Amino acid sequence: MKHDILAMAPIPAAQMAQLEDSYTVHKLWKSKDPEALLNDVKDSITGMVSVYGQPVSARLIKALPNLEIIAHYGVGYDNIDIEAARAQEIIVTNTPDVLTDDTADIAMGLVLGVMRRMVEGDIYVRTGQWAKKGDLPLGRCLRGKTMGIVGLGRIGQAVAKRAEAFGMKVVWHGPRAKKGISWPHYNDLMNMVEITDILMLTCLYSPETHHFIDSAVLKALGHQGVLVNVARGKVVNEDDLVEALENVDIAGAGLDVYENEPDVPSALCRLDNVVLQPHQGSATHETRGAMAQMVVDNLRLYFEKVEVLTAV
């Protein structure tokens, strides 16, 4: 007898087909009446496929009395009420490692985009301003700059290696030093920010990091400093960031994440010292396929052996 799986949102077609071959998949995002669907299947659901942006609340978890596993399609899982899952003895998995390099690449792309004014340059050429106004104003080089990384996990370390390849000095902030890490560690965020040219956010989102980056941090970063966020939007106080950019308290920002995705403040969209991306750190065919396969493999291994590859 097939297990019943609740899919909160789509994953790549090849892996969705594997799920449908092995399980009875209930596609919540396709239902015209999600509440009615949940009422119909709530007692039969034993597995869930979660996707960032779709909340898995305590209320939803409690409404599925036989749920055993939540296989999350992503590395960050702050959309899931983990405490509610643990209280119900539900295993939660995520998809680490496979998206590290792509996310680190986007992070460095944002650095280049802001420092070398690449998006501005593209618009400058396409709109004919180059011919009319002459050369684009100068950007700034990466060589010799200091990158301060907040959160030196897998992605943070991958970004650090890329920054060094560009001739940058790397320092980092986290709750505690790590063995085998040679980059200088700062216990105090403000002490690090004061010597930082590019503040790179790769940390996990939690109550402790909510609005961790505020007006005080941005002012310490300084009028030549740049903020890059590939972590979670809520790590940054977005109102403070807009004010800092408008007042040129910092030079610019590169953002792949926002407080209330997919809604982005119009004030950010109007600024020409910001490079914006639609949360696409892992958005390549190869990586999204690998992430989805990890979801499938976690479910299969759990239902066959009560084991998982990547428990959170």
The answer to whether residues 166 and 141 touch, using CB atoms and an 8 Å cutoff, is no
- Catalytic position from the list 279, 285, 288, 300: 279
* Rounded distance between C-alpha atoms, residue 171 and residue 184, angstroms: 5
Residue 3: both structure tokens together = 């297990």
Angle of helix 100-115 versus helix 118-126 axis, rounded to 10: 60
Beta bridge partners of 51: 73
Active site residue 285: no
DSSP annotation of 153 reads: S
- Catalytic position from the list 26, 232, 238, 288: 232
Active site residue 307: no
Radius of gyration from C-alpha coordinates of the chain: 22
- Catalytic position from the list 194, 243, 259, 261: 261
Residue 274: both structure tokens together = 């910001």
Active site residue 86: no
* H or E element, residue 51: strand 45-51
Q: Is the peptide bond before 262 cis (omega within 30 degrees of 0)?
A: yes
- 146-150 and 252-255 beta bridge pairing: unpaired
* Rounded distance between C-alpha atoms, residue 100 and residue 287, angstroms: 9
Kindly list the catalytic residues. 232, 261, 279
